Amino acid sequence: MKIISLFSGAGGLDLGFSKAGFNIAWANEFDKEIWDTYIKNHPNTLLDKRNITEIISQDIPECEGIIGGPPCQSWSEAGTLKGIKDKRGQLFFEFIRILKDKQPTFFLAENVSGMLASRHSEAIEKIINLFKEAGYNLSFKLLNAKDYNVPQDRKRLIFVGFHKKKTNNKTFVFNHPQNLKLTLKDAIYDLKGNAIPAKEKNYSNLSKCLFMNHEYMTGSFSTIFMSRNRVRSWDEQSYTIQAGGRHAPLHPDAPKMLDAGKDKKIFVPGLEHKYRRLSVRECARIQTFPDTFEFVYDKISTGYKMIGNAVPVNFAYELAKEIKSQIDNF
């Protein structure tokens, strides 16, 4: 089944759908820092590098599905909170524009849980109505990737639409997964002794890595970072992997941070050397990228950005399998 990918990033969503048997024929990503990584890891997909606002629908191949994660920063509780008033938030309408023009059998759009905040209720209602006006029966639900073979607490809002006329008026059903909960030990324990620090000014130190992309960002920790515990134990699931390396969770070999006042934590005295950020590869493992997936970058911050903005591969795979199963049963 041929599908296209919008706002593709490094292609975590794409890889999950590909594993489920879909053919990602065409993808669009405007961030030039990501192009080399996408092309290297998705050699059979044509990557369009233009700004999506400049792409007319006729330039996009016909397809049976559209997937993508429009930029989420303006919807995020940690971001600008402007939602649809922000130009990045408005890119959701570009997704709908192309969907309306191409009329595929299904679509999947992913975004942060912050979209459900009351301040965005009017915008969400508008988006829902536009999906329906485009000809789709819409299902949407807040899911946690930890329920989908991902060793990470990561809540995301998933929209799935089935074309009314092409699916006999069917509506996608979110089935509750029956998966075991993976832990940090399951994901990264074998990597614990091999990580190296980035070069000065956090330039890549890839040439010295014994394991691909297994380097971590160095530097001080902000007061915001130190406002709460950032350590999860080996038998727990990771905190959400974010797009900024400075906010990467700390390695589980470190003890939990200690209270030092209101909204203030400290490292356990005498054990400060144990507190390092998770490496790029460790974050990739937690996002369930395979070890064969190579992230290409000069500054290590770019590696963290690509991984933190991605949809976990296993999460995408489980959703893709369910979509495929329900489409096959029309």
94, 48 contact by CB (below 8 A) = no
Active site residue 72: yes
Q: Provide CB contacts within 8 A for 35, sequence distance 6+.
A: 29, 47, 49
Q: CA–CA separation, 308 vs 112, rounded Å?
A: 12
4, 60 contact by CB (below 8 A) = yes
Q: Which candidate, 123, 172, 167, places its Cα nearest to that of 143?
A: 172
Backbone angles phi, psi at 57, to 5 degrees: -60, -30
Q: CA–CA separation, 261 vs 85, rounded Å?
A: 37
Determine how β-strand 215-216 pairs with β-strand 196-197.
parallel
Q: CA–CA separation, 248 vs 295, rounded Å?
A: 17
Determine how β-strand 2-6 pairs with β-strand 23-28.
parallel
Q: CA–CA separation, 144 vs 1, rounded Å?
A: 27
DSSP assignments along 290-328, one per residue: -TT-----SBHHHHHHHHHTSPPHHHHHHHHHHHHHHHH
Q: CA–CA separation, 185 vs 261, rounded Å?
A: 31
Q: CA–CA separation, 105 vs 33, rounded Å?
A: 32
Q: CA–CA separation, 319 vs 308, rounded Å?
A: 19
Residues paired with residue 2 on neighbouring β-strands, in sequence order: 23
- Of the residues 63, 72, 209, 283, only one is catalytic, namely 72
Residues with a known catalytic role: 72
